[in-house]
Structure 1
Amino acid sequence: MVSALADRPRADDLAALRAELGRARPARGPVLAFDIAELDDRLAGYGLDGAGLHEVAAASPTLNDDAAATLFAAGIAARFASRRGSDIFWTASQFDLYAPGLEQAGIAPDTIVYAQGKKDSIVLAMAEDALRDGSFACVIAEVKAADQTATRRLQLAASDGGRPVLLYRRHRRLGRCPLSGLSSAMTRWRIGCAPSAPLPHPGVGRARWLVELVRQRNGNPFSLELEACDDTGRLALPAAAPNRAVAMGGAAIQAA
């Protein structure tokens, strides 16, 4: 009897074991919800982990899909920046960003810091340093290639710095999705353009995207058709056609 009691773990041993298990779990930062129930309810954490790696790629190598994927990442970064009240760090090997376009997705010119590297390895290293520094609201890195070791380092840096990183994978060759390789990312998104809804009057309507979550930790993949980011970085669920006509008619009357 005495021997059996002696073999039981003591309370302080159990506390130490629980603490060790807690450190072993991946750190989770503040969650950024999309505020779209049809989207958030399908995410394992009901939003994007604010201390994790999230990957974005265009559905095709076309300029339209490339712009859609860029603005999708910009909208997420803009919302993280708005919440934390700090700047965005954006690094790439070649800049082809259009500042007015980014501003339409919620990123003002004075809230973004650009850094250019000669090759992907330098871009990834700068992104890692910016994450560990912890002074930026969000880090965006554009690369053509990043192996699983590189993504694991980014995920660890995001966890240590308590900041999110968006890795935009540019297309390397035609016919192959950049998200086909292995990665340590918490979520992997593929963004493509979709036809806009017809307007009751001449003009250009709000852009639509086909948003695909290719992979997520502890969750299933899915796809949704959504309206593009507004000037606060927010996506929207397309309204039903009758409701859309009423809403647009009311807006037109108010504008008149």
Structure 2
Amino acid sequence: MYINCKGQLIDLTTPKVMGILNITPDSFYDGGKRKTKMEFLLHAEKMLEEGADFIDVGAYSSRPGATDITEEEELKRILPVIESLVENFPDIILSVDTFRSNVAKNCVEAGAAMVNDISAGSLDPKMMKTVADVQVPYIMMHMRGNPQTMKDLNEYNDLAEDILYYFSEKTAEAKDHGINDLIIDPGFGFSKNISQNFELLSKLELLKNLELPILSALSRKSLIYKTFQTTPEEALNGTTVLNTISLMKGANIIRVHDVKEAVECVKLTERMKN
């Protein structure tokens, strides 16, 4: 199972780690921790040294109820960071976390090698055509509504079946547009309550029926810290546990804030499998 990142074939048979680089002031865990270009560079360097295969850069907070920002503001935040990362780390494989086609296009032109879209094209009808035009891998996440409304859109007939149907439709649409490399993200924390998140994780292997790589993004999310009545800052151990479960159930990429611990999860689960 391979994806083509600007001519580099990445084998996802062995799971990969995607480090999160938020350049937002209001992300639920690390929003506002880093403000300057140098701070972003240093954090990216740390994640690469710890073994990150990809770095996912986002300038629009998608936490529940997050403040909406304009496309101009998103570009103003993200483009200088993308350009600086590519300049300082020529071999870096960057993913751009956006649901806006123009932001995706500009970031790929600046050096990003993948598009990570929380809406799978639902929030911008031009997104899939844009991804097809630039020919980079496309991560499609399951979500209803938008970050401002999604928390109230969590009624399902059958959660797993509804998500499988959603991805079968999105996959067909993406392929019709000519997108070659697709990755699916079940969207933990998006349009799902805590019980539904755990139900989805318990059935994650069902998504393997789609025969596409699976990205699991559970890092420090509320299903962990609300279970323990703590905070995102205290959710690393729980993240490690759920990342391990994801890997055992077939996840090909885990998207994380804490790269070192995630790399250890991959090494240990692969050692056990082999």
Greater helix proportion: 2
Greater strand proportion: 1
Give the TM-score taking structure 1 as reference length.
0.35
* Bigger radius of gyration among the two: 1
